[in-house]
Amino acid sequence: MEFLAWIEQTTVGLWVRESTWGFPIALTLHAIGMGFLAGINFAFALRVLGVAPGVSLRNLVRFSPLMWSSAALSVFSGLLLLAAYPAKSLTNPLFYLKIGLIISGLVLISNIAAAVTVHFESKNSVLHGREKLSAVALLLIWAAAITCGRFLAYTYSVLTVG
Ligand code: HEM
């Protein structure tokens, strides 16, 4: 708890929590990062499942740099939000579930993107059931991560600063 109290009093924690624009800026950046990150994952998973067959999967893989930049923005803005109210999230099991889901989602999209690239390099454009199953898991993982994020605001039990 002493460590959490120290985080709350850092310049960053104070700025996000007590300045006029700190929290709105951090939350807006979080929403933008999350939207692009989950959005690109959803588009990719739906394409693997057969939606919009006219859109080339190879072209969708080109969104990778934007997806990873959005992931970085989500992490950066998430850390800002965390600095403002560290005890609120770090004492909530849902926060750790959310982080686990995010890591699983990022690992899964990397694996599916690598598998799809191998398919195209070997000139075999037919995807296996395994990739489709992974795409369904990807949709569920990101939906669950977003739900956990939203529910953090309603499920906390420790709030050491007002
Ligand atoms: C390491 C990365 C991340 C950290 C440390 C983090 C941390 C946080 C924190 C502290 C909050 C505020 C919770 C509250 O209101 O008490 C939050 C909100 C939220 N996060 Fe994250 N987050 C991260 C990444 C993500 C990602 C990748 C997603 C989804 C793709 C996500 C989805 C959400 C949602 C939906 C909210 C609620 C926003 C709202 O109140 O409207 N987060 N996050």
pLDDT digits over 76-133, tens only? Answer: 999 999 999 999 999 999 999 999 999 999 999 999 999 888 877 766 566 778 889 9
Pocket-testing residue among 12, 98, 150, ligand 1, by greatest number of atoms within 8 A of Cβ:
98
Cβ of 97 below 6 Å from ligand 1: no
Residue 161, domain member (yes or no): no
Residue 160, domain member (yes or no): no
**pLDDT reported for residue 124:** 59
Residue 149, domain member (yes or no): yes
Residues whose CB is less than 8 angstroms from the CB of residue 90 and which lie 6 or more positions away in sequence, other chains included: 4, 82
Give residue 127 CA to ligand 1 midpoint distance, Å.
33
Residue 74, domain member (yes or no): yes
Residue 37, domain member (yes or no): yes
Cβ of 70 below 6 Å from ligand 1: no
Residues whose CB is less than 8 angstroms from the CB of residue 106 and which lie 6 or more positions away in sequence, other chains included: 71
Pocket-testing residue among 81, 150, 161, ligand 1, by greatest number of atoms within 8 A of Cβ:
81
Cβ of 79 below 6 Å from ligand 1: yes
Question: With 90 as the cut, is the pLDDT of residue 49 above it?
Answer: yes
Q: How many angstroms separate the CA atoms of 111 and 102, rounded?
A: 14
Segment 35-61 mean pLDDT: 93
Cβ of 47 below 6 Å from ligand 1: no
Q: How many angstroms separate the CA atoms of 5 and 87, rounded?
A: 8
3-class SS of residue 9: coil
Structural domain for 22, as ranges: 2-155
**pLDDT reported for residue 107:** 98
**pLDDT reported for residue 69:** 98
Residue 162, domain member (yes or no): no
pTM over 0.85: yes
Compute the residue count for the chain.
162
Residue 85, domain member (yes or no): yes
Give residue 74 CA to ligand 1 midpoint distance, Å.
8
- Domain count for the chain: 1
Residue 68, domain member (yes or no): yes
**pLDDT reported for residue 148:** 98
Q: Which of 114, 140, 138, 143 is nearest to 127 (CA)?
A: 114
Cβ of 74 below 6 Å from ligand 1: yes
pLDDT in tens, 15-46: 999 999 999 999 999 999 999 999 999 999 99
Segment 139-152 mean pLDDT: 98
**pLDDT reported for residue 115:** 87
**pLDDT reported for residue 141:** 98
